[in-house]
Each structure stands twice: as structure tokens, then as C-alpha cells.
């Protein structure tokens, strides 16, 4: 499927040319020894302004701005580097900037800005996903770790046919799957999926299909694909929930495939799209059909694969009396 219309949210790993480095807010950290030549009288006269400056620096907003890399605008974490003129830069941008200060073009060297690193240790900052609902506040050095697993962080595109780097919330991804990947959208909690392949021995270009189902006010991704397992192809169907893992546990699903008076049935809990498509597939967490069995289900002379996978989704309801989960079947 063509992906020309997709806008990918990604970052460049290449080197940055000196003349192409965008500067946002260049920061200058002056050495504490630069004022050693000033007189005591000047120090006394300027004590009031110094106190004002200290108060400003202790403002979380002001300090947060100081810790913002002037190139990428991300928060700087140790090691924080600076040039001889005091301009700061994060370690990632330093490695991409040909060891030249993007502000003054002087050589960066290996000067650490220890003062700014000390200031960072005393900060507590809100999660960057606070605007979408996260109420948490963390010490500066714990913030990144939390944000990597924050429940409010954006989701990655669940499309498995190509490397798609689009991220967003669930409504955004549903629109993206429909409009950009042309994925089939269905409403209801039961499905009947037919898969036909003229040459079942070819899986070099892993054949896959994705369908999105909307039921119980939630969206689910049904995956069906062929891939090589050892020396023989296998076929696999599994369901992923478009939401977090904890919420996915509220639902169950079943898959069934059969023919010639035989059938295979799978029942389980859908995996969250937080888990990558490959991770779910490689764990075999779904209905796995060996090629010989798939051809047996297909009937005929076994020269063409014809599989029909049926299934349903239901919501588990907590029984308040006994604590057990009762299925809430979709009509």
C-alpha cells in the first residue's frame, strides 16, 4: 500500500551543518570568577540587584528556560556542555554540531557546565504530558524516565505493513489509519475474515491484513498475516486494543478457523498497541495455524489457501458478589 501521504514524526540522526543549526534561546552561563576584578564597593552597591537575580533564577519557569537547549529546545540533562564564552548546549546537539558552538561558532571542547547541572538537581517539574491530563510532578532527573512510560504519552501507529512513525492519541490514529493507510473500518463485536492466497508457499513479502473494529465505544485492531517460522510458513491472527494495557484487560476475544469437519479455537485478552506488532507476533500470542493444517482447512487439492477466520469480542464485567468476571456479550 502506498504511503506517500503519511507525515512521519521523527528526528534526524544526521550531522548538522554549522550554517543550518536553528537557534532558539542561546544561553550564556558566566563563570563565577568573571567578577573577581570588580571592587567591593560595586559588590555592595549591586547587592540588591544580585538578590533580585537570585530570586529570578530560583523561579521554576526561569530555571527551566535556562535548562532548555538553544538548538533542539529540549531540556538538557548531564552532561551539559558549554563553550569558552558560556553558551550551553545539550550532549546530543554537541555531537551533531561538529564540536562548534552554534551561537558563537567557537570550539566547544569538553567543558561541563557543573553549575547548571547542580541547579537541575534541585528542580521538580511537571510531566510534559500535563496538557493532556498527566498530573504528576517529578524531580528533574526522574522526569524523563516517567515520560517514557507515562499513560498519557502518545501512541504509535499500529499499522504493520510498513515502518510508520506517526504518533498521536487514539482518535488521531483512527483517522490516520482510515485516511492514510486505507484500513477497513467496521462496527460491531463479531467478525468474519476471509483470507485467500494463490501460492501458500510464498511468504517472502509477509502477507498481512489489518481491520479496525469499533465496539463498546473502543477500537480494536485485527491482524492476520503470514510469516516464516523456521523452514515453513505459518499464519497468525490476533487482536490488539487501541488503549493502555490495564484497560485492555477489561476485554476478551475469541478466534476460530476450520474446515473439513475440524476447527481450531483461540481465546485470550487483546494486547495493547503499546506492545509493537512484532512483539505480539513473535510471542505467538494469538491464533497460530501451521501451513499443513491451513491447507487441510482449505480443502480441494491444497494448491490454494482459503481460510475463514471468525471471532467475537466481549467485555468482562466484575461480579460484585463473588468477585468473578462475567462476560458481557455484544449483541
Confidence band, pLDDT 50/70/90 cuts, at residue 232:
confident
Residues 6+ apart with CB under 8 A from 133: 152
**Of 6-10, 196-200, 204-208, where does mean pLDDT reach its minimum?**
6-10
Q: What is the mean pLDDT of residues 222-251?
A: 89
239 has pLDDT over 90: yes
> Which stretches of the chain are DSSP H helices?
40-45, 47-57, 60-66, 91-96, 114-121, 140-149, 170-179, 245-248, 277-282, 291-298
- pLDDT tens for 53-112 read 444 344 555 777 888 888 888 888 888 899 989 899 988 888 888 888 888 888 888 899
What pLDDT score does 329 carry?
55
Mean pLDDT of the chain: 77
Distance separating alpha carbons of residues 74 and 77, to the nearest angstrom: 9
Position 168 pLDDT exceeds 80: yes
What pLDDT score does 330 carry?
53
Give pLDDT, residue 118. Answer: 86
pLDDT-derived band of residue 217, with 50, 70 and 90 as boundaries?
very high
Predicted local distance difference test score (pLDDT) of residue 23: 54
Do 127 and 137 meet the contact criterion of CB atoms below 8 Å apart? yes
* Mean pLDDT, residues 215-227: 91
Alpha carbons 212 and 187: distance in angstroms, whole number: 8
Tell me what pLDDT residue 34 has.
37
Amino acid at each position: 500500500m502506498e504511503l506517500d501521504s503519511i507525515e512521519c514524526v521523527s528526528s534526524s540522526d544526521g550531522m548538522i551543518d554549522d550554517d543550518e543549526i536553528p537557534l532558539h534561546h542561546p544561553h550564556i552561563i558566566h563563570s563565577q570568577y568573571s567578577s573577581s576584578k570588580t571592587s567591593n564597593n560595586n559588590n555592595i552597591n549591586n547587592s540588591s540587584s544580585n538578590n533580585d537575580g537570585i530570586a529570578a533564577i530560583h523561579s521554576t519557569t526561569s530555571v527551566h528556560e535556562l535548562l532548555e537547549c538553544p538548538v533542539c529546545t529540549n531540556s538538557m540533562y548531564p552532561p551539559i556542555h558549554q563553550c569558552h564564552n558560556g553558551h550551553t548546549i545539550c550532549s546530543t546537539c554537541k555531537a551533531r554540531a561538529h564540536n562548534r558552538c552554534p551561537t558563537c561558532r567557537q570550539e566547544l571542547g569538553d567543558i561541563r557546565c557543573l553549575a547548571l547541572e547542580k541547579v537541575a538537581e534541585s528542580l521538580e517539574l511537571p510531566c510534559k504530558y500535563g496538557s493532556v491530563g498527566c498530573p504528576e510532578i517529578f524531580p528533574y532527573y526522574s522526569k524523563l524516565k516517567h515520560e517514557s512510560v507515562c499513560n498519557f504519552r502518545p501512541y504509535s501507529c499500529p499499522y504493520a505493513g510498513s515502518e510508520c512513525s506517526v504518533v498521536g492519541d487514539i482518535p488521531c490514529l483512527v483517522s490516520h489509519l482510515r485516511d492514510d493507510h486505507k484500513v477497513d473500518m467496521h462496527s460491531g463485536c463479531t467478525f468474519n475474515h476471509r483470507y485467500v492466497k494463490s501460492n501458500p508457499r510464498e511468504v517472502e513479502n509477509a502477507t498481512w491484513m489489518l481491520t479496525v473494529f469499533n465496539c463498546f465505544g473502543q477500537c480494536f485492531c485485527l491482524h492476520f498475516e503470514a510469516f516464516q517460522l523456521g523452514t515453513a510458513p505459518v499464519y497468525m491472527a490476533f487482536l490488539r486494543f487501541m488503549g493502555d494495557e490495564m484497560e485492555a484487560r477489561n476485554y476478551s476475544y475469541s478466534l476460530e478457523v476450520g474446515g473439513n469437519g475440524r476447527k481450531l479455537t483461540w481465546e485470550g485478552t487483546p494486547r495493547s498497541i503499546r506492545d509493537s506488532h512484532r512483539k505480539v507476533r513473535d510471542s505467538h500470542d494469538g491464533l497460530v495455524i501451521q501451513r499443513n493444517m491451513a491447507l487441510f482447512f482449505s480443502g480441494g487439492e491444497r494448491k490454494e489457501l482459503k481460510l475463514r477466520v471468525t471471532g467475537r469480542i466481549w467485555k468482562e464485567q466484575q461480579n460484585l458478589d463473588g468477585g468473578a468476571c462475567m462476560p458481557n456479550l455484544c449483541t
